[in-house]
Chains A and B, each alone.
Chain A
Amino acid sequence: DIQMTQSPSSLSASVGDRVTITCRASQGIGNFLAWFQQKSGKAPKSLIYAASSLQSGVPSKFSGSGSGTDFTLTISSLQPEDFATYYCQQYHSFPLTFGQGTRLEIK
């Protein structure tokens, strides 16, 4: 199975900041990587697919990059509604696997 490791596990930031979350795969997955946002008590929301393509309706403040084993999610100009938990997921091969999540909190 492909292991997905996110860092950091939690992150404190202020409104207006720019933050970057990292996701590392245990083996090469090309660009078969997605990012999701989950707010407390809510279902996940799809943000990015193919490592860097924005899901329809997602604002351009979210951006993704990387290929192979190392990926990043960057969120610019943080707003209160951006504070949530973020997950990466590889869909290169079964079983599909998620990172453990990164909790983004207001400083």
Chain B
Amino acid sequence: EVQLLESGGDLVQPGGSLRLSCAVSGFAFSSYAMSWVRQAPGRGLEWVSLISGRDGKTHYADSVKGRFTISTDNSKNTLYLQMHSLRAEDTAIYYCARCYSSATPRPDYWGQGTLVTVSS
């Protein structure tokens, strides 16, 4: 059974940093691309970042480029999102999602999400 479990969400001050984790099981982690998608309170879905399992190539939304870094640890079957210079507008539930591939980056399985709140 495919499972994705996010953690690391917290209340953080503007300008602060946070690292989110997504532990996966039930599939060959390094064979898939993985994405982060976020949802601000009461808003729609916004894609944040993707990493290819095959070659480690990364992609970012303009809104987070230069501030967020996506990475994986294949030995731990874990996806990460390192977030720096956090802003109020980064407040959201962050979901990790398995994607078919980086060439066909359609999400098929989603985690339950972790809440990041940026506020003083």
Query: Which residues on the B side are within 8 Å of A49 (C-beta)?
Result: 100, 106, 108
Complex Cα spacing A33 to B37, Å: 16
Residues of B within 8 A of A46 (CB): 106-110
By a CB distance below 8 angstroms, the chain A residues around B46 are 98
CA distance A44 to B113 in the complex (A): 10
Please, how many residues of chain B have a CB less than 8 angstroms from a CB on the other chain? 25
B95 touches A96 (CB 8 A): no
Name B43-65 residues within 8 Å CB distance of A. 44-47, 50, 59-62
CB distance from A57 to the nearest CB of B (A): 11
Chain A contact residues: helix, strand, loop or mixed: loop
How long is the Cα–Cα vector from A89 to B104 in the complex, in angstroms?
12
Contact B47 A95 (CB under 8 A): yes
Given contacts A95-B59, A96-B105, contact A44 B111 (CB under 8 A): no
Say yes or no for B112: interface residue by CB 8 A criterion.
yes
A96 to B36, CA, bound (A): 11
Would you call the interface of chain B mostly helix, strand, loop, or mixed? Answer: strand
- In the assembled complex, the Cα of A46 lies from the Cα of B120 at a distance in Å of 36
A100: chain B residues at CB < 8 Å are: 44
Which residues from A are CB-within-8-Å of B112? 42-43
Pairwise interchain contact A44-B104, C-beta atoms closer than 8 A? no
CA distance A58 to B116 in the complex (A): 31
CB pair B44–A94 under 8 Å, yes or no, is no
Across-interface contacts of A50 in B (CB, < 8 A): 106
The answer to whether A89 touches B59, judged by C-beta atoms less than 8 angstroms apart, is: no
Chain A residues whose CB sits within 8 angstroms of the CB of B37 once the complex forms: 44
Q: Which residue of B lies closest to A49 (CB)?
A: B106
A55 at interface by CB-CB < 8 Å: yes
By the criterion CB–CB under 8 Å, are B108 and A55 in contact? yes
CB distance A101 to B44 under 8 Å? yes
B35 CB–A CB distance under 8 Å? yes
A36–B106 Cα distance when bound, in Å, is 11
Shortest Cβ distance from residue A17 to the other chain B in the assembled complex, whole angstroms = 24
- Using a CB–CB cutoff of 8 Å, the interface residues on chain A facing chain B are 32, 34, 36, 38, 42-46, 49-50, 55, 87, 89, 91, 94-101
